[in-house]
Structure 1
Amino acid sequence: MPVRVEETSSASQISGTAQGNPIPLPCTLLNVGKTFSGTQNVSSFHKDEAWRVNVRIQGYDIDHGYLCGTMEALNVPMADTPVITFWEGEIVDTKNYTFFTGKWETNAEDDIKHWTKFPSFSPLLSQVEADGGKTVDLSNYPYIFMRWKEQHFVNVGADCGLTIAGFYYVCFSCSDGSINGFYYDPNSSPFQKLELKSTNDERSGYSFSSYELQ
């Protein structure tokens, strides 16, 4: 989700090189058409604020560690309408992508600092620190780790006063479809927390509108 531009002020893609590591098994709760709703905390030192967020998965290719979708922010103070962005994601599978980002103004220290925010990452920490997790078998792991990078605004211009320069560290639970994430952008408030729950099988909550991407 886009964040407010604050006044305070890439390397090439890193891919796993282990050829024998199996990719994560498909998770029925993470697939094209799945929708999620929740909030992102965008609080700063000066103000507590949370935006309501909806996400829809538009594309999913587990063999290549790729997924994409739209993100809708519903109550952005400076916007008259919901703000929608299109994002692309990298699935950490030790085949296509490792836990080390290697781009987007990050380094290994930034990666570890954010991944360790997820309790489900703790059992993997020592191996990731050693080799980026290339030897970790994630094929049956109950969580899927990803990075989501917003690529462009769908319904507003780039001069709207918001930025999509950063990206999300994401942890997806295969047991209940919940999503937790932390937004990284060195020029925005640190550790903005994203919390989403699956809405496909629920009758309550607010719905996600449909948008056609050109």
Structure 2
Amino acid sequence: MPVRVLESSTPSQVSGANSGHTSFQACTLLGVGQAFSGTQNVSSLQKDEAWRVNVRIQGCDLEHGYLCGTMEALNVPMADTPVVTFWEGEIVDTKNYTFFTGKWEATPEDDIRHWTKFQSFSPLMGQVEADGGKSLDLSNYPYIFMRWKEQYFVNVGTDCGLTIAGFYYVCFSCSDGSISGFYYDPNSRFSSFSYCPFQKLELKSTNDGRSGFSFPSYELQ
């Protein structure tokens, strides 16, 4: 379902290229221990396919625009067990991180192409094209934009047939805790797997961070 942006939540613009000092208010649905569940569409030209996905937030530091967690992918065809990865995230707060990635082989054009797939990004487009969104105040915006970069496999080896070379562009809804994301893999054009270029991640909050859902226990090194 398309995300609807309320007129009253249009971000304000702060004067000066370096004066964006966004500090997100604590969001109860983006706290340590919060769990999410949903799917990742990995359909190719040959077949439709979706993996069931569970995510849990292990750490969150809004002041520094940082969060981390685990992602568990189930029913992965080339794996005998669920595949768990550890990821670290960057929160686009215009202070620590902007909408321009500047690494992981992502160009500004790649960034814009992915961010514009979120309808909630539309009101920000003009300013992001101008300066990466540095002069936007997103502190009261009802959506939080992030990048999630998987760092390593937790429970399987690197020979599992999957890649973590790319990263996710993520949009988080502060109102209901839902998450939409699109995966960017700079190596996809050379991959033997003909996955669609925009693998879509769709997750919903499954608890309040304290009860109601649990993952298997994994030791993170």
Task: Name the TM tier (shorter chain).
Answer: 0.7 to 0.9
- Alignment pair present for 1:72 and 2:72: yes
User: Aligned ranges for residues 87-106 of structure 1 at < 5 Å?
Assistant: 87-106=87-106
Unpaired runs of at least 5, structure 2: 1-16, 189-194
Contact 1:23-1:94 at 8 Å conserved across structures: no
User: How many Å apart are 1:44 and its aligned residue?
Assistant: 1.1
Structure 2 CA distance, aligned partners of 1:206 and 1:23? 29
Q: Deviations over 1:22-59 (max 9, x none)?
A: 32222110010000000000011122110000000001
Asked if 2 retains the 8 angstrom alpha-carbon contact of 1:73 and 1:82, the reply is yes
Q: What are the superposed Cα offsets for residues 47-86 of structure 1, whole Å, 9 maximum, x if unpaired?
A: 2110000000001011110000000001101111100000
1:179 corresponds to: 179
Q: Any residues of structure 2 matched to 1:35-46 within 5 Å, and which?
A: 35-46=35-46
**Aligned-pair CA distance for 1:207:** 5.0
Q: Which residue is 1:198 aligned to?
A: 205
Percent same amino acid among aligned pairs? 83
The answer to whether the 8 A contact 1:166-1:183 is kept is yes
- How far is the alpha carbon of 1:209 from its aligned partner? 2.5
Output the CA distance in 1 between the equivalents of 2:39 and 2:215. 14
2:124 maps to what in 1? 124
Question: What does residue range 1-214 of structure 1 map to in structure 2 within 5 Å?
Answer: 18-188=18-188, 189=195, 190-201=197-208, 207-214=214-221
Cα RMSD between the aligned structures? Answer: 1.6
What number of residue pairs does the alignment pair up? 196
Q: Give the TM-score normalised by the residue count of structure 1.
A: 0.87
The residue identity in structure 2 corresponding to 1:28 is T
CA distance in 1 between counterparts of 2:20 and 2:144 reads: 19
The verdict on how the C-alpha distance between 1:20 and 1:79 changes in structure 2, with shifts beyond 3 A counting, is: closer
For structure 1, list consecutive stretches of 5 or more residues without a partner in the other structure. Answer: 1-16
8 Å contact 2:29–2:208 — kept in the other structure?
A: no
The DSSP-based 3-state class of the residue aligned with 2:218 is coil
Corresponding residue of 2:7: none
Aligned residues of 2:20 and 2:134 also touching (Cα < 8 A): no
Deviations 1:113-164 (A, max 9, x none): 0000001000000000011000011000000000000000000011111100
Q: CA deviation at 1:201?
A: 4.7
Give a deviation string over 1:79-108, Cα, whole Å, max 9, x none: 111000000000000000000001111111
Cα distance in 2 between the residues matched to 1:186 and 1:101? 13
CA distance in 2, matches of 1:199, 1:18: 38
CA distance in 2, matches of 1:206, 1:195: 18
TM-score by length of 2: 0.85
Mapped to 2, the partners of 1:110 and 1:38 lie a distance apart of 25
Change beyond 3 A, Cα 1:20–1:92: closer
Alpha-carbon distance between aligned partners in 2 of 1:201 and 1:26, rounded to the nearest angstrom: 14
SS at 1:195's partner residue? strand
1:37·1:197 contact (CA, 8 Å) conserved in 2? Answer: yes
Paired residues of 1:57 and 1:68 also in contact (CA < 8 A):
yes
